[in-house]
Structure 1
């Protein structure tokens, strides 16, 4: 098996609200958009973020557990601390339910957090060094 991830799929409770947040609020462009079923974004050369309507997902994968903070984190890395603040402002304008202001981190970077309408946690980070060099276009 190749060392790679092709899709990250998040099961969402309200695909209409999710669509509004990502398309209208954050200004993303969809790759696949099937109302009532799935919304997909190309987020890298060979990587897709898939937001799957819970009712549609149940048919294929079975029950979805909710509650608490999901044990997963999505990250969006940018090229500077100012870019971190700008993305967090965009998330606020998009209606993100929770926003954590960015701060200087002990590991040398600068980051803050927001949640999407389903509570999925996004880190927005400036990470100087080899990881930042690898993941920032």
Structure 2
């Protein structure tokens, strides 16, 4: 098996609210939608973010863990400059993110902040000046 990720699938409680956030708020264009069950976006070359209504996810995959705290996963959006990071966090705030943390300088040399989508999934918005950070930027 070669090391790659083709889909990132997240179970969401309210697909309509999730759609409003990503499509209406962030301005993303869906690549696929199926009624009230799934919403998909191509987020990179050969990588799709799939937002699946929780009921459909549970029917196919199994029960979702419930409880307090932050979902133990983050998604990251890397950018070439610090001002771009601040700009994306402002867009997330305007889109209605229930939680946005301002970006700060990190001890490893980066500049990052976070926002949450309607289901609490955290997006890291980052400027990573190191080689791995530069490698994931679009051409």
Separation of aligned partners in 1, 2:32 and 2:66? 25
* SS at 2:123 equivalent: strand
State TM-score, norm by structure 1: 0.97
SS at match of 1:29: coil
Number of the residue aligned with 1:106: 107
For the 8 Å contact 1:79–1:126, the answer to whether it is kept is yes
* TM-score, normalised relative to structure 2: 0.96
User: Cα distance, 1:74 vs. partner?
Assistant: 0.5
Please give the per-residue CA displacement for 1:25-78, whole angstroms capped at 9, x wherever unaligned: 000111111131100000011100000001111211121113311111110000
Q: Which residue of 2 aligns with 1:5?
A: 5
State the partner residue of 2:83. Answer: 82
Is 1:15 the counterpart of 2:15? The answer is yes
Partner secondary structure for residue 16 of structure 1: helix
Q: Which residue of 1 aligns with 2:130?
A: 129
Say what the alpha-carbon RMSD is for the aligned residues.
0.7
Single out whichever of 43-52 and 28-37 deviates more from structure 2.
28-37
State the match for 1:91 in structure 2. Answer: 92
29-38 vs 79-88, which moves further: 29-38
- Structure 2 unaligned blocks of 5 or more: none
Aligned to 1:57: 57
SS in 2 for 1:96: coil
Residues paired across the two proteins, number: 137
